[in-house]
Chain A
Amino acid sequence: MSAEVLPYTVKPHPVTGLYNGKFGIWLFLASEVMLFGALFSTYVFLRMGAPETGPTAWPTGEETHLNWMLGGLNTLILILSSVTMVLAWVQFKMDNFAKGRIYLIITAILAIAFVAIKFKFEYAHKFHMDIYPKTSVFFAIYYTMTGLHAIHIIGGVVVICYFIGPGAKLWEENREYYTNRIECTGLYWHFVDLVWIFLFPILYLL
């Protein structure tokens, strides 16, 4: 089905003020909120159910073996990547393809840095210390939440790389369409950032 036949693929709907893709991505994000919501619910449930003492008590501070410096660094990296993502969109919006593309590349590099820190320094270090998901429910939820989040990051990187590489052809054909798609990618990317903003304190600091 070609884009021309379907209405409002590129131009916003006069009544709703939205093009299809943007509405779609917001709905998708709503479902993502519920997906992570269930995990947050799990976190709250398990934490409230954990006894004060004993082997299944909830670890805090040093007991978590989590490095808040790495976590904090990752937070900053992700926030920065959000900024570059939105700046990329601004550049495309201003018809400045080359600059926009550079911002996209920076975003992708930052995202890869995030994943690298996550896997190379955090997970590897913990595996080295014999800390696995099965070690305790805290680490179970830690690995599950950050793992799922990392999968989202990787998915985002793939999409961003697509728009840097093969997807860039669309710019020649339909600039507005391309910019719209970058906006949608950006919305997703900011959401992933937003999830991390909550994951960081609840896992590393509390």
Chain B
Amino acid sequence: MSGDHHHEPGFIRKYVFSVDHKVIGVQYGVTALCFLFLGFSLMMLMRWQLAYPGEEMPFIGNIFGEDAMPGGVMLPEFYNSLGAMHGTIMIFLGVVPLLVGAFGNYVMPLQIGAPDMAFPKLNMASYWVYLLGGIVMLCSFFVPGGAANSGWTSYPPLSNIATTGQTWWLFGMVCLITSSLLGSVNFIVTIIQLRVEGLTMFRLPYFVWAQLITSFLLLLAFPPLEAAGVLQLMDRLAGTSFFMPEGLVVSGVVQTQMSGGGSPLLWQHLFWFLAHPEVYVLILPAMGIVAEIIANNTRKPLWGYRAMIYSTIFLGFMSFIVWAHHMFMTGMGTKISAFFATTTMIISIPSVVILTALVISLYQGAIRFTVPMLFALAFLPMFAIGGLTGLPLGLPASDIHLHDTYYVIGHFHYVVAPGTIFAIFAGIYHWYPKVTGRTLNNALGYMHFFLSFVFINMVFMPMFWQGMAGVSRRLYDQTVYAHGDAVQSLTIMSSWGAWMLGLAQIPFIINFFISAVAGKKVSNNPWDATTLEWLAPSPPPHGNFETVPVVYRGPYEYSVPGASEDFHPQHVTTEA
């Protein structure tokens, strides 16, 4: 970190092993979008088997090989691999790296006026460890027995006796967790230490707050899974019995090689200690993006900015003590379940507060229906559905019927797919001009939004009815059950929705690449926004700002009475 580097770095230093937060942000973004697309493709394959169980897949059925799809018919082991890897890739390789790695890395230092992240080399290391984890995960598809197929939750003993892919999964997860840890340390230090003069904590854009809380969640929730991953690796490679009780008989073979004495519940506790805060890692930065865009496009300060921040802090804290609501069905008594059901009900309150604040922010605004705004607006009802359907799952009694059914799938997909992923799209449309200096095409953008909005609902809405009917999740073929067969038409509808949703992404993909070279050139502040990132040139140079800005006011000073313009940037000296 020493010495002067005033000479121009070479291509590799500048664009590949770069320590510039913007390059790393773009690297994260592009890689994660690729993984997002891959994860989505896996799901589209699964949807064929779900809709038309045991039928030959048209067109592409024969390219997956005899071990996965003999004669074009998907085998259950491949289906389970797809399911497990869809979850893992979407969450750990797609959405989190996009929200934190890409948006956090690119936008957050700009929004606080910092020249870079506090530890640039650590930042670079974080990306490369993430990429390594991603490559390990991808390679696992090609090992004997295929990729991990015990679900993204990897419950032992099943995962302990699973094929080699599971070991790869664990190594991949250890890499990804390490990457997140490095990133979160960096984020917290950057936000606390590197804010420019005048940018007090309560003048920070809500997005930065969301990133701060998220980083704390990553920092404190991920290590237990790393430990659990090490324990499972020990179980798989060194023959220990952390998660295995004695006397198991697998396929008629008595498992005498292991000592026993462990418990499968231990994994579930350690896993969900991570995975519940993880849910908020998925949603908080998304809320941050949405809040930025809503304030910008309603031309009005956010309603209840402080209440939102307090709610976010509370949400972050509470998210650590609700984890066992995923485990109501594991033989839990009344006391622990009462505790966790209560905390679960409590944690819904701050979510309601944030959502209310965002919707009241629309009131008396002047809403511009730009493409990012449409995605941000769609986030609100979608997240509301996702949140509300969490209630029956959080109450132990109604969870008896709905646990591990499609209702759960519908619930959390409403939070992360039309919720978080729409927020990601909103963010891409919003900050694309900052990254490239050009805007995305509007017509393609509108097309992308409307098609995605309709079809994503067509995918997930039927799942609530399927869940009500009692259909278990992760079934290779639900028609073997009478109650599943009765709602098979919903599955087919869902599948068609998914494929159509896939087609709906084509305008976006075209837009994303063409506009980078041929999009309309825009000024530094095309959206007439107030936060600091719009002060920097588009794209920002190395070191971000020509002169270090000073901040004089809060983040969302729009439509200040008596001002000549309807926005009043944070760095402008003059009072309105």
Distance between Cα atoms of A23 and B194 in the complex (Å): 12
Considering only residues 213-227 of chain B, those with a C-beta below 8 Å from chain A are 219-227
- Label chain A's interface by main secondary structure: helix
Given contacts A30-B220, A49-B263, contact A137 B242 (CB under 8 A): yes
Q: Is the CB of A144 within 8 A of B2?
A: no
Distance to closest chain B CB from A165 (angstroms) = 16
B224 x A28 contact (CB < 8 A):
no
Kindly state whether residue A116 has any CB partner on chain B within 8 Å: no
Count contacts on A: residues with CB < 8 A to the other chain. 49
Q: Does B261 contact A (CB under 8 A)?
A: yes
Do B260 and A38 touch across chains, with their CB atoms under 8 A apart? Answer: no
A137:B185 contact, CB within 8 angstroms: no
Given the interface pairs A34-B224, A38-B270, the reply to whether A135 lies near B259 with Cβ below 8 Å is yes
Report B173 CB to chain A, min CB distance, Å.
14
Among A5, A36, A42, A135, the one with the most B-chain Cβ atoms within 10 Å of its Cβ is: A42
Residues of A close to B240: CB separation below 8 A: 133-134, 137, 140, 143-144
Q: How long is the Cα–Cα vector from A1 to B185 in the complex, in angstroms?
A: 18
Cα distance, A36 to B230, chains bound together (Å): 11
How distant is B262 from chain A, measured CB to nearest CB, in Å?
6
Contact of A7 among B19, B194, B270 (CB under 8 A): B194
In the complex, what residue of chain B is closest to A23 when comparing beta carbons? B189
CB of A22, distance to nearest CB on chain B (Å): 9
Among the interface residues A34, A46, A173, which one has the most CB atoms of the partner chain B within 10 A?
A: A34
- A36-47 to B contact mask, C-beta < 8 Å, 1/0: 111101100110
Is B192 part of the contact surface with A, judged by Cβ < 8 Å?
Answer: yes
Which of the residues B4, B181, B238 comes within 8 Å of A133, measured between beta carbons? Answer: B238
Say if the beta carbon of A96 comes within 8 Å of chain B: no
Inter-chain contact A174/B118, CB cutoff 8 Å: no
Q: Is the CB of A144 within 8 A of B234?
A: yes
Does chain A have a CB within 8 A of B33?
no
* B261 & A56 in contact (Cβ 8 Å cutoff): yes
Name which residue of chain B comes closest to A181, CB basis: B1
A46 touching B227, Cβ below 8 Å: no
Chain A: minimal CB distance from B536 (Å): 15
CA distance A108 to B40 in the complex (A): 50
Closest Cβ neighbor of B242 among chain A residues: A140
A8 to B271 alpha-carbon distance, docked (Å): 37
Q: Is A170 an interface residue (CB 8 A)?
A: yes
- With A38-B228, A133-B240 known as contacts, the answer to whether A56 contacts B259 (CB < 8 A) is yes
B234 lies within 8 A of A137 (CB): no
Interfacial chain B residues near A148, Cβ < 8 Å: 230
Residues of A within 8 A of B115 (CB): 1, 5-6
Q: Which of A5, A24, A56, A135 contacts B186 (CB 8 A)?
A: A24
Chain B contacts for A2, CB-based, 8 A: 1-5
Q: Does B54 contact A (CB under 8 A)?
A: no
Cα–Cα distance between A137 and B246 once the two chains are bound (Å): 11
- A24 surroundings in chain B (CB, below 8 A): 118-119, 122, 185-186, 189
A90 to chain B, nearest CB (A): 24
Known: A1-B20, A6-B116, A6-B120. 7 other contacts (CB 8 A): A1-B1, A1-B5, A2-B1, A8-B118, A31-B185, A134-B259, A135-B259
The interface of chain B, by Cβ under 8 A from chain A, is: 1-5, 19-20, 115-116, 118-122, 181, 184-186, 188-189, 192-194, 219-228, 230-231, 234, 238-242, 246, 257-263, 266, 269-270, 273, 543
CB pairs A–B below 8 angstroms (10 shown): A2-B3, A2-B4, A8-B194, A27-B188, A38-B225, A56-B260, A134-B238, A137-B242, A148-B230, A174-B2
